[in-house]
Structure 1
Amino acid sequence: MNLGATLIKSRRSVRSFTDAPVDDEIVHEALECARLAPTAMNLQPWLFGAVRNKALLKQIAELTDHGRFIETAAVCFAIFGEKDAKYYLEDGCAATENLIICLQGYGLGTCWVAGDKKEYGEPVRKLLNVPEKYTLVSLIAGGFPKEITIPKKKHLDEVSFMDTWKEEEA
């Protein structure tokens, strides 16, 4: 198995973090990996933030509907896309996944919290003083895991096909 597959297969959503801080170098590398994500027509219609201020983390957590654990994270990355860019969501999601995989390589746990089309997207944008041309794509809580749970995943043959889907494959 190659390194990329190992990182992807070992990643789990983490919602419980230790109090250990995340080094500046790791935050920088994660942002760098997000920046290098594939993007339609190379438009790069994104803006990335890294929030470590505890008061801001608490405010973000309180704004979300399913991200209360953001308050306990060492860092929360906020991925924004330019509203007028046709593929801002796809580009922002590619950047989000790059960032998550980078953090996994450093042994950090993450949890992706939805942002696009969520009622709290605009309040988060305003809280972080992000220009109005951007919309929230995702929030990524990150830190050193306190615990990791391993959810059951469907088998590959339940969710894939070769060439064309056939009824007997279901």
Structure 2
Amino acid sequence: MSLVTINHTTCRRDGMCSAVCPMGLFDRDGDGFPVFRAGVDQRCIACGHCVAVCPLGAIHHETLPLEDSSLIDHDLAVSVPALNQLLKSRRSIREFRDEPVPEPLVREAVEVARWAPSAVNRQPVHWLVIQTPAEVRRLAGLVVDYLRQINTREPRYAPFIEQWEQGKDPILRNAPHLAIIHAPDEWIWSSVDSTIALTQFELAAVARGIGTCWAGFLMRAANGHLPLREALGVPADHSVFGALMYGFPRYSYHSVPLRQAARIEWR
């Protein structure tokens, strides 16, 4: 049986499924119906474009059944002003309340993030969510150990080490939680796919009132400091490609300060 079949009763032969297939796996028969070509099942990346675009549900995909696909409620479309404000007002949060973020709220954000685009729909990302503040603090200490090791050749990290020794946390900012993404080294697009997914998680989190900040120090140390890798439990053939500290913001922000003008070359 073909991976994709067409219901001729409901298909209106508009060619949309064929047009949106990124791999070009459809032909047309003599009556104008789309036909999923024989022998190309392995080339299908299961992106779901053909299923999603058909307004009449005439496409049956063996691995993406229509009954498991949620319908888009176009009445929920986000207004352009609301979206612009969300994107422009997002800030890197470095001061957090002591109140923990409920796990269901984080699961919602991850659930949204797993729909992030990835190269050829590979979906290579793996999530690690650190929920315990004490564990976040321990990981920050391991990052400081790494900075001490490289401080001789990179002395710019000395002020951060000094702050840590004074009882402050310039590494993970006393965040209550941490979200980390790792992915296989063998996949050339793991870095890009991970960044897109974590960015989508961040926006989903911010929309739910969760503050976030990219954990650059940890991202640097995670792939170069064995004790930290062991603490994270990252597989040997994976790299950490992103990390976000998160929690409820201690303070609210009320304006959108200026940023540099976009540098654009129009051609």
Alpha-carbon distance in structure 2 between the residues aligned to 1:76 and 1:61? 11
**Structure 1 residue 143 corresponds to structure 2 residue 244:** no
Aligned in 2, Cα 1:87/1:5: closer, same or farther, shift over 3 Å? same
Which of 76, 83, 108 is residue 185 of structure 2 equivalent to? 83
Alpha-carbon distance in structure 2 between the residues aligned to 1:115 and 1:35? 25
Which of 37, 47, 53 is residue 116 of structure 2 equivalent to? 37
**What are the ranges of 5 or more consecutive residues in structure 1 without an aligned counterpart?**
165-170
Alpha-carbon distance in structure 2 between the residues aligned to 1:2 and 1:102? 17
**Structure 1 residue 24 corresponds to structure 2 residue 129:** no
SS in 2 for 1:91: helix
**Structure 1 residue 128 corresponds to structure 2 residue 207:** no
Question: Post-superposition shift, 1:153?
Answer: 4.3
Structure with bigger RCO (C-alpha 8 Å, 6+ apart): 1
**What are the ranges of 5 or more consecutive residues in structure 2 without an aligned counterpart?**
1-79, 148-159, 161-168
Aligned in 2, Cα 1:116/1:22: closer, same or farther, shift over 3 Å? closer
SS in 1 for 2:106: helix
**Structure 1 residue 52 corresponds to structure 2 residue 157:** no
Q: Which residue of 2 aligns with 1:62?
A: 141
Preserved contact between residue 11 and residue 104 of structure 1 (Cα < 8 Å): yes
SS in 1 for 2:188: coil
Aligned length: 162
Question: Post-superposition shift, 1:14?
Answer: 0.6
Q: TM-score, normalised by structure 1?
A: 0.82
SS in 1 for 2:187: coil
Preserved contact between residue 14 and residue 110 of structure 1 (Cα < 8 Å): yes
Preserved contact between residue 221 and residue 228 of structure 2 (Cα < 8 Å): no
Alpha-carbon distance in structure 1 between the residues aligned to 2:170 and 2:91? 18
Question: Post-superposition shift, 1:102?
Answer: 0.7
Preserved contact between residue 79 and residue 139 of structure 1 (Cα < 8 Å): yes
Alpha-carbon distance in structure 2 between the residues aligned to 1:11 and 1:57? 23
Q: What value does the CA root-mean-square deviation take over the aligned residues? A: 2.5
Q: How does 1:105-116 map to 2 (within 5 A)?
A: 105-114=207-216
Preserved contact between residue 140 and residue 218 of structure 2 (Cα < 8 Å): no
Question: Post-superposition shift, 1:3?
Answer: 3.4
Preserved contact between residue 172 and residue 215 of structure 2 (Cα < 8 Å): no
Q: TM-score, normalised by structure 2?
A: 0.54
Q: Which residue of 2 aligns with 1:161?
A: 264
Q: Which moved more, 1:62-71 or 1:31-40?
A: 62-71
Alpha-carbon distance in structure 1 between the residues aligned to 2:265 and 2:250? 39
Alpha-carbon distance in structure 1 between the residues aligned to 2:92 and 2:117? 23
SS in 2 for 1:118: helix
Identity of matched residues, %: 27
Alpha-carbon distance in structure 1 between the residues aligned to 2:141 and 2:170? 6
Alpha-carbon distance in structure 2 between the residues aligned to 1:91 and 1:119? 20
